[in-house]
Amino acid sequence: MKYTIDAQGKKIGRIASEAAALLMGKSTVSFTKNTVAKVNVEIKNASKTDVSAVKKTRDTYVTYTGFRGGLKKESLGHLIERSGMKEVLERAIYRMLPDNKLRDLRFKNLIITE
């Protein structure tokens, strides 16, 4: 099955939670936790999502390289400028999927267009 989500005017979290539920196959009749659903999710108008100015400065993404002094912080606004809303949505949806062996297989069924 193929699902299409229009991201225009919607919040990032709402889009991500809807897409994650569809990628897991929770909307299908034959839902099982241990299989990858035959579902493709396409998100259109990713650049037109609703992000407030306060959230662009307040929200930060933290990564750690594993070395001393390797803690890196980046604000949401800087991430949008650097790589666009596609990267922000990918990170949100990836982190909402269950952390198991099927996460990467499910994530391959996601298509995001600006």
All structural domains of the chain, each given as residue ranges with its CATH number in brackets, are 2-50+84-112 (3.90.1180.10)
Q: What is the mean pLDDT of each run of 10 residues along the chain (114 residues)?
A: 96 96 94 94 96 94 95 96 95 96 96 93
- Distance CA(96)–CA(84), nearest Å, equals 20
Against a cut of 0.85, is the pTM above it?
A: yes
**Phi-psi domain of 48 (left: phi exceeds 0; alpha: psi -120 through 50; beta: other):** alpha
- Distance CA(74)–CA(76), nearest Å, equals 7
Say what the pLDDT of residue 114 is: 85
Give buried/exposed letters for 40-51 (b at 16+ CB in 10 A, else e).
ebebeebeebee
Closest to 39 in 3D by CA, of 26, 49, 52, 50: 26
Residue appearing with tokens 């037109």: 48
